[in-house]
Amino acid sequence: GTGCGFNLTGRTNVTIKNVIVTGWQYGFYLYYSSNNTLTNNTAYNNYYGFRIYGSNNTLTNNTAYNNTYVGGFYISGPYNTLINNTANNNWNGFCLGSSSYNNLSENTALNNWYGFKLYNSSSNTLHSNWAINSTTQAYRWDNDSTSNDFTGSVAANYLCVEVVGCAGVPLQGVEVKVVVDGVTVYASPGFEGTNATTGRDGKTPWIIVPFQTCISGTTFVENTTMVTVRVGELNAINSPREVNMATSHTEVFIVFIISFALDFMVELALWFFLSVQLTGFGNMGYLVVGVIFLVQAVLVGFFVLRKVGGWVVAAG
């Protein structure tokens, strides 16, 4: 579309609440506007969601999604404050162009090409923001953007844990735990959590996992993500497993439904019986030993089944 859904050119001290704007070039347009307050508004299917050219404006709890051009929130001016806003599925989630001394805190950018993008913008504070599942880059700034502070901001991606049997059959009800740098972000009841086990498709819901965290200024460090898969009281082999969360993806655990103890003992018993066949039934020593191994195999197998409430698990 063309034009502006809400045009505040040259206006000051205006409050806009609970407005939905769609189908325009600019959803909310503040041109040379200052000291305005925008709260609980939504802009979608525009070229720009919120376009701010002024200063000292405050945007809180607003949402911009499916805006197709520069982005959800595009700021060109100083001393604006954006708190707890959400930008979903835009080109840029939040963009600062030729802007300084702005405060962006606790905002969420998800499913955008760029989560937070700065060009020719310096001395801005961007604390405790989340950029989730950014197609190109979560946080990007050019060489002309200096002295910006991203402390506490997070780049995150989606993780789905899928558990299948050796024949590719989905396994339902498997316990899953995801821990990031020692902090549990997902835990099913078997891990004393409230999140779901794997469903009928063998998968967990999508889990938001922090990949990088800014510890100071513009220094982002990569987090360590560990995933544990459990059936009954036993963890799968290769579990916990460190998972690379540089991109959103499905992490597959292949589970073999067998009892190693039972299988091993039965094979030994069969070997002894075969020895009896080769040496003749007169050698009862082999037969006795074979029977003993077979009985042990059955006992061990039943013990293992009772222990885990199912089969022992091996996974890759």
Identify the domain boundary among 122, 150, 178: 150
Do 21 and 48 fall within a single domain?
Answer: yes
How much is the pLDDT for 166? Answer: 75
8 Å CB contact between 126 and 187: no
Q: Give percent of the chain above pLDDT 70.
A: 79
How much is the pLDDT for 231? Answer: 82
Do 182 and 229 fall within a single domain?
Answer: yes
- CATH classification at residue 206: 2.60.40.1120
How much is the pLDDT for 2? Answer: 87
Which one has a higher pLDDT value, 310 or 227? 227
Tens-digit pLDDT profile for residues 259-274: 444 455 555 555 555 5
Single-letter amino acid code for the residue at 73: F
pLDDT averaged over every residue in the chain: 87
Do 69 and 131 fall within a single domain?
Answer: yes
**What angle do helix axes 284-308 and 260-279 make, rounded to 10 degrees?**
170
Do 18 and 109 fall within a single domain?
Answer: yes
Run of H or E residues at 2: none
Query: CA-to-CA distance for 152 and 120, rounded, in angstroms?
Result: 22
Q: Which of 74, 75, 96, 94 is nearest to 84 (CA)?
A: 94
Tens-digit pLDDT profile for residues 159-186: 999 999 877 899 999 999 999 999 999 9
Structurally, how many domains does the chain consist of?
3
Give the pLDDT mean for 235-245.
84
Q: Which of 128, 127, 136, 84 is nearest to 117 (CA)?
A: 136
Domain hosting residue 275, numbered range: 260-315
How much is the pLDDT for 312? Answer: 39
Tens-digit pLDDT profile for residues 124-161: 999 999 999 999 999 999 999 999 999 999 999 999 99
How much is the pLDDT for 307? Answer: 38
How much is the pLDDT for 202? Answer: 96
What 3 state SS string does 236-304 have? CCCCCEEECCCCCEEEEEEEEECCHHHHHHHHHHHHHHHHHHHHCCCCHHHHHHHHHHHHHHHHHHHHH
Tens-digit pLDDT profile for residues 12-38: 999 999 999 999 999 999 999 999 999
Do 171 and 303 fall within a single domain?
Answer: no
Residue 235: pLDDT band by 50, 70, 90 thresholds? Answer: low
Query: CA-to-CA distance for 33 and 80, rounded, in angstroms?
Result: 11
